Amino acid sequence: MKKYYVTISRQFGSLGRSIANELSEVLGIEYYDRDIVEETSRKMSLPVSSISKDEEKSIKSNLFNMLFPLGTDSIEKQDKIFKAQQQIILDMADKHSAIFVGRCADHILRDHENCLNVFIYAPRQARLHNCVNSLGMNQEEAKRMIRDVDKARDLYWKRYAGYLPADYNHRHLMIDSSIFGVKGTVGILADVVKEMFMIKQ
């Protein structure tokens, strides 16, 4: 069977990362998110020790600030990081089927066949609930992160892809994770992937 790819962009607090992780287990394919950061750090000799497991919560991390246009690092350095990540994603895609979270993977893999581009969102109140109850934030921190990370992702996609992550012209599927929950959303996406790429399991 030919390789296939699922790219997942998401609003902060929509639990898109958890959904992507579980989807990879259901489909039995690779899942790339933190791996891209770690490989970028290795190739560019950037430290990873200061980055926590939950990257988006580490708003004081130097590397996090470079990956998202919220920090003080130069645009030139951000461009170098994007180019490094672009090549890493392409190299990973050459090896096997995979799920890619964020980092304009949909744009990077735009010339690849068998690619499903998904956007996961949720109402603000549901995202606040997820941030507090699933990510362990307080209300004020959750509100700030939802505002800042969503804005950063919009700026990132606009700069490197030329469109916003929620632009339906570049999405095959957009789904509200608050309606179905993590497991329900995973089930729907798995069914779509199997149907789209004619996978028999």
pLDDT of residue 37: 80
Whether the pTM exceeds 0.75: the reply is: yes
Residues 140-160 pLDDT 10s: 999 999 999 999 899 889 999
179: how many CB neighbours lie within 10 A of its CB?
A: 12
Structure tokens at 158: 């606009």
Residues 78-119 pLDDT 10s: 788 889 899 999 999 999 999 999 999 999 999 998 999 999
Residue predicted with more confidence, 45 or 63? 45
14: how many CB neighbours lie within 10 A of its CB?
A: 24
Q: Write down the H helix ranges in the chain.
A: 16-27, 34-44, 62-67, 75-95, 105-108, 124-133, 139-160, 177-196
pLDDT of residue 72: 43
Structure tokens at 163: 């469109």
Structure tokens at 128: 């606040």
pLDDT of residue 42: 83
pLDDT of residue 54: 29
Taking alpha carbons only, the member of 170, 180, 190, 193 closest to residue 122 is: 180
With a cut of 90, say whether residue 19 has pLDDT above it: yes
pLDDT of residue 71: 43
pLDDT of residue 57: 34
Least confident of 4-18, 29-43, 78-92, 107-121: 29-43
CA gap 130, 114 in Å, rounded: 32
Residue predicted with more confidence, 39 or 108? 108
Residue predicted with more confidence, 41 or 50? 41
E strands, the chain, are 5-10, 30-32, 98-101, 115-121, 173-176
Q: What domains can be seen in the chain, in order of their start residue?
A: 5-191 (3.40.50.300)
Average pLDDT, whole number, for the chain?
86
